[in-house]
Amino acid sequence: MSKLNRFSGSERDWTAQYAAIGRFIVEFEWICWHIRFSAVSILQAYGLKKWPLGEIIFNQRVFTGDPLFSCYVSMVEESLDSQNPLIPELEKIYSDFQKLSKTRNDYCTRAI
């Protein structure tokens, strides 16, 4: 048996890898916090008078990363002129975010 086949994962210190995954997940959730904040800000700009009402909506369990960003993109598109150059940029960012969201979910699923 070769040395490569005899390596046992339990013999390795995985602390750095787990710490990196944890930092990734924390940063991902920080992005989600900013999206929630921005979505509530849009609602305030269009007449919402009580900030906590927006937080109640966007802090529901259904608003995980991907649905939250999808809703945010729709809100921005509704708020801006359809020819605004920000819209295609935001859609590109959303596409990248979807990949991050899948990665985050894969890490969390494997950790359980």
Is the pTM higher than 0.85? The answer reads: no
Burial 64-80 (b: 16+ CB within 10 A, else e): ebbebbebbbebbeeee
Q: What is the pLDDT along the chain (112 residues), one digit of tens a residue?
A: 455 555 566 777 888 988 998 899 899 999 999 999 999 999 999 999 999 999 999 999 999 999 999 999 999 999 999 899 999 999 999 999 999 999 888 887 775 5
Indicate the burial class of 83 (C-beta count within 10 angstroms; 0-12, 13-18, 19 or more). exposed
What amino acid is encoded at 61 in this protein? R
Whether 8 maps to a domain, the answer reads no
Tally the domains of the chain.
Answer: 1
Helix axes 65-79, 15-45, angle to 10 degrees: 30
Whether 2 maps to a domain, the answer reads no
Whether 99 maps to a domain, the answer reads yes
Whether 100 maps to a domain, the answer reads yes
Whether 11 maps to a domain, the answer reads no
Whether 1 maps to a domain, the answer reads no
